[in-house]
Amino acid sequence: MRGWTGKLIRVNLSTQSIKLEDLNMDDAKKYIGGRGLGSKILYDEIDPKIDALSEENKLIFMTGPMTGTYASCAGRFNVIAKAPLTGTIGAANSGGHFGPELKFAGYDGIIFEGKSEKPVYLYINDDAIELKDASHLWGKNVFETTDALVEETSEGARVACIGTAGEKQVLFSTVMNDKDRAAGRSGLGAVMGYKNLKAVVAKGTNSIGVADNTAFQKAVLDARNKIRKDPISGIGGGLATYGTQVLANILNEAHSFPTRNSQDTVFEGTENISGEYLTENYLVRNKACFACNIGCGRVIKIPDGKYKGIVAGPEYEAGWSFGAACGVDNMNEIDKANHVCNMY
Site residues (vs another protein, CB under 8 A): 68-70, 97, 104, 179, 205-210, 228, 235, 284-293, 295, 297, 299, 301, 310
Rounded Cα gap, residues 130 and 110, in angstroms: 13
Query: DSSP 3-state assignment of 59?
Result: strand
* Residue 69 beta carbon to another protein: minimum distance, rounded to whole angstroms: 5
Cα 34 to Cα 96, 157, 298, 342: the distances in Å are: 15, 21, 26, 23
Please say which residue, 254 or 310, places its beta carbon nearer to another protein: 310
What are phi and psi for residue 135, nearest 5 degrees?
A: -55, -40
CA atoms lying within 13 Å on the CB side of residue 85: 18
Q: Residue 198's closest CA among 153, 163, 158?
A: 163
Q: Is the dihedral of CA 94, 80, 161, 278 positive or negative?
A: positive
Strand partners, 299: 285, 312
Please identify, using beta-carbon distances, which residue of 70 and 307 lies nearer to another protein: 70
Nearer to another protein, 35 or 203 (CB): 203
Nearer to another protein, 215 or 284 (CB): 284
**CB of 238: closest distance to another protein in angstroms?**
15
The span from the CA of 298 to the CA of 178, in Å, is 14
Q: Kindly tell me which of 115 and 228 has the beta carbon lying closer to another protein.
A: 228
Edge-first strand order for the sheet with 7-12 is: 17-22, 7-12, 109-113, 59-63, 77-82, 89-94
Least distance in angstroms from the C-beta of 240 to another protein? 8
Q: Is the dihedral of CA 110, 125, 68, 211 positive or negative?
A: negative
CA–CA gap between residue 34 and residue 60 (Å, rounded): 10
Q: What's the chain's Rg over C-alpha atoms?
A: 20
Compute the least distance from the CB of residue 42 to another protein, in Å.
Answer: 28
Neighbours of 330 (CB within 10 A): 14
Contact residues for 336 (Cβ-Cβ < 8 A; gap 6+): 302, 307, 311
**Minimum CB–partner distance for residue 26 and another protein (Å):** 24
What's the min distance (Å) between Cβ of 107 and another protein?
Answer: 15
Q: How far is the CB of 155 from another protein (least distance, A)?
A: 11
Identity of the residue, 8 or 227, whose beta carbon is nearer to another protein in the bound complex: 227
Q: Which is nearer to another protein, 68 or 163 (CB)?
A: 68
Rounded least distance, CB 287 to another protein, Å = 6
Instruction: Give whichever of 59 and 240 is closer to another protein, judged by the CB atom.
Output: 240
* Distances from the Cα of 206 to the Cα of 28, 103, 106, 197, angstroms: 21, 8, 6, 26
Residue placing its CB nearer to another protein in the complex, 136 or 229: 229
- CA 325 to chain centroid, in Å, comes to 24
Q: From the CB of 82, what's the least distance to another protein, in Å? A: 33
